[in-house]
């Protein structure tokens, strides 16, 4: 049994972290294909910060509450759900609504808790796993033996990308902005590049060029990425922390037969997300169970302290994932 109302963290109005406030909300009712999850933990992601600031609206039909991933127990489901039973523990990709005691998602966007992970670690997994798999493996077509560069190497996304690429047999390079962050990258078996002191273009060119680059920085990095790529290299853009507009010499793309692409996860169809989930179940979950891919938790905050969690993320001092503990 579960109550009619719940505690959630809502965005009072677009702005700074203090706009996150506790509120009473109705417990969401699962539709035909959805499950209702009682949360143990919610993951915090940079897109939550952008949503709170008014720069990333939820897609039509999604909850206005922030929160793109969680772990917890299934407590109810729609009539069309056959995959799950009540009482099963899952982690799930959410279209929004994760900063709350209960959340709904499409039944096919939930996955079992991978063997060996805590509920806190499992909550920190879906957003990065879906994003990295779809952009590095599906779109970026990374294969064993290739050279892979990821920017923002100690972000939640970056650490998942490093480990997934290593598990696929790639040689991995990652950029970060401090010696401490570089140490964390090296501990995952990748070559760290401190971008404040070193030139990633030079390092990659000396290594033979990157076959794939996953970039969340954009701006001045875009023409430099193009220079760092090997022939037939691919550049996948997933964010533009430094801005989306640049002047670019397209002749280099032609001469080196490069592919420039990108994607955002949240607005994709339920079917597309279910297809990614299927691949995660079959390919990434065994890598996690084998211990070759893991989750690094930077810090844990109570749900009521979500504003503190956002402030921590905005310092960019974190290494790995920030989570909110929802249930004691
Ligand atoms: N396209 C998609 O589907 C998708 C899905 C999820 C997330 N994303 C994006 O992927 C990125 C990583 O997400 P996350 O949740 O893993 O974020 P995160 O943990 O907050 O990491 C972002 C990191 O980027 C680095 N960075 C470089 N330039 C920056 C700048 N100008 N401003 C702020 N940080 C900068 C920082 O590390 P240094 O100190 O080393 O610079 C920072 O730690 C975000 O931009 C997010 O919006 C995209």
Same domain for 41 and 81? yes
Ligand 1 center from residue 45 Cα (angstroms) = 9
Retrieve residue 146's tokens. Answer: 């290739």
> Could you tell me the sign of the dihedral formed by the alpha carbons of 53, 57, 63, 64, in that order?
positive
d(CA 21, CA 32): 31
Those residues with Cβ within 8 angstroms of residue 71's Cβ, 6 or more apart along the chain or in another chain: 39, 40, 41, 89, 90, 91, 92, 113, 119, 120, 122, 123
Same domain for 62 and 116? yes
Most ligand 1 atoms within 8 A of CB, residue of 157, 200, 267 to mutate: 157
CATH number at residue 202: 3.40.50.720
Same domain for 85 and 182? no
Rounded to the nearest 10 degrees, what angle do helices 179-187 and 156-167 cross at?
Answer: 30
Same domain for 119 and 135? no
**Which residue has the least CA distance to atom 25 on ligand 1?**
152
For residues 233 and 149, the answer to whether their CB atoms sit within 8 Å is: no
Same domain for 95 and 187? no
For residues 195 and 176, the answer to whether their CB atoms sit within 8 Å is: yes
- Among 262, 281, 301, the domain boundary falls at 262
Please give the tally of structural domains in the chain: 2
- What residues form DSSP beta bridges with 145? none
Same domain for 152 and 187? yes
- Among 229, 262, 295, the domain boundary falls at 262
- What residues form DSSP beta bridges with 204? none
Residue-by-residue DSSP string for 208-242: T-EEEEEES--TTHHHHHHHHEEEEEEEEE---TT
Query: Which residues approach ligand 1 with their CB closer than 6 A?
Result: 45-47, 127, 131, 152, 154-157, 176-177, 181, 216-217, 238-239, 241-242, 263-265, 313, 316
CATH number at residue 64: 3.90.180.10
Same domain for 213 and 272? no
Ligand 1 center from residue 136 Cα (angstroms) = 16
Helix (H, G, I), strand (E, B) or coil at 53: coil
**Which residue has the least CA distance to atom 29 on ligand 1?**
241
Exposure b/e, 236-254, CB count within 10 A at least 16 = b? bbbbbbeeeeeeeeeeebe
- Among 262, 289, 306, the domain boundary falls at 262
Same domain for 256 and 138? yes
Same domain for 120 and 30? yes
> Could you tell me the sign of the dihedral formed by the alpha carbons of 177, 179, 181, 187, in that order?
positive
Same domain for 49 and 169? no
Same domain for 103 and 153? no
Same domain for 119 and 185? no
Whole domain around residue 53: which residue ranges? 5-125+266-325
d(CA 240, CA 221): 10
Note down pLDDT in tens along the chain; length 328 residues. Answer: 789 999 999 999 999 999 999 999 999 999 999 999 999 999 999 999 999 999 999 999 899 999 999 999 999 999 999 999 999 999 999 999 999 999 999 999 999 999 999 999 999 999 999 999 999 999 999 999 999 999 999 999 999 999 999 999 999 999 999 999 999 999 999 999 999 999 999 999 999 999 999 999 999 999 999 999 999 999 999 999 999 999 999 999 999 999 999 999 999 999 999 999 999 999 999 999 999 999 999 999 999 999 999 999 999 999 999 999 999 8
Exposure b/e, 45-78, CB count within 10 A at least 16 = b? bbbbbebbbeeeebeeeebebbbbbbbbbbbbbb
């Amino acid at each position: 049994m579960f109550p009619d109302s719940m505690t959630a963290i809502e965005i009072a109005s677009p702005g700074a972290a203090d706009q996150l406030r506790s509120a009473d909300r109705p417990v969401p009712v699962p539709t035909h294909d959805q499950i209702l999850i009682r949360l143990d933990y919610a993951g915090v992601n940079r897109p939550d910060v952008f949503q709170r600031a008014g720069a990333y609206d939820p897609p039509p039909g999604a909850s206005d509450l922030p929160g793109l991933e969680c772990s917890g127990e299934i407590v109810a489901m729609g009539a069309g759900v056959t995959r799950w039973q009540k009482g099963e523990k899952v982690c799930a990709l959410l279209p929004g609504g994760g900063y709350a005691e209960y959340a709904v998602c499409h039944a096919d966007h939930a996955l079992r808790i991978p063997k060996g992970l805590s509920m806190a670690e499992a909550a920190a997994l879906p957003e990065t796993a879906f994003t990295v798999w779809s952009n590095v493996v599906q779109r970026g077509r990374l294969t064993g033996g290739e050279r892979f560069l990821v920017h923002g190497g100690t972000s939640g996304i970056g650490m998942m990308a490093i480990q997934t690429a290593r598990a696929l047999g790639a040689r991995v390079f990652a950029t970060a902005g401090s010696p401490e962050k570089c140490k964390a990258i090296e501990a995952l078996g990748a070559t760290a590049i401190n971008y404040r002191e070193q030139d990633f273009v030079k390092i990659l060119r000396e290594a033979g060029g990157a076959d794939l680059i996953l970039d969340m920085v954009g701006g001045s990095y875009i023409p430099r990425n193009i220079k760092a790529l090997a022939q037939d290299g691919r550049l996948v853009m997933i964010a533009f922390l430094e801005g989306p507009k640049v002047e670019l010499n397209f002749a280099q793309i032609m001469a080196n037969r490069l592919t420039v692409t990108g994607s955002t996860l949240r607005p994709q169809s339920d079917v597309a997300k279910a297809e990614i989930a299927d691949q995660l179940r079959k390919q990434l979950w065994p890598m996690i169970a084998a211990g070759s891919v893991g989750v690094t938790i930077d810090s844990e905050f109570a749900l009521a302290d979500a504003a503190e969690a956002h402030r921590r993320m905005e310092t960019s001092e974190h290494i790995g994932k920030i989570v909110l503990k929802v249930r004691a």
